[in-house]
Amino acid sequence: MTDPKAATDPELVEQQGVGEPDALQRLWTPHRMAYIKGENKPDHDQADGCPFCRVVELDDADALIIARGELVYALLNLYPYNPGHLMVVPYRHVADYTELTVQETLELAEFTQRAMRVGRTVAAPHGFNIGMNQGVIAGAGIAAHLHQHLVPRWGGDANFMPVIGHTKVLPQLLAETRQLLADAWKS
Residue 147 annotated in active site: yes
Query: Greatest CA separation found in the chain?
Result: 63
- Report H helices in the chain: 33-36, 51-54, 60-63, 102-123, 160, 174-186
Q: At a CB cut-off of 8 Å and minimum separation 6, what does 28 contact?
A: 10, 13
CA–CA separation, 38 and 142 (whole Å)? 9
Binding-site residues from annotation for substrate:
77, 149
Residue 67 pairs with which residues in a beta bridge? 74
CA–CA separation, 28 and 26 (whole Å)? 6
Out of 85, 93, 145, 147, the active site residue is 147
CA–CA separation, 71 and 62 (whole Å)? 20
* Contact yes or no for 121/186 (Cβ under 8 A): no
Binding-site residues from annotation:
77, 149
- Strand order from edge to edge, sheet including 127-131: 65-68, 72-76, 86-90, 148-153, 127-131
Query: Which residues are designated catalytic?
Result: 147
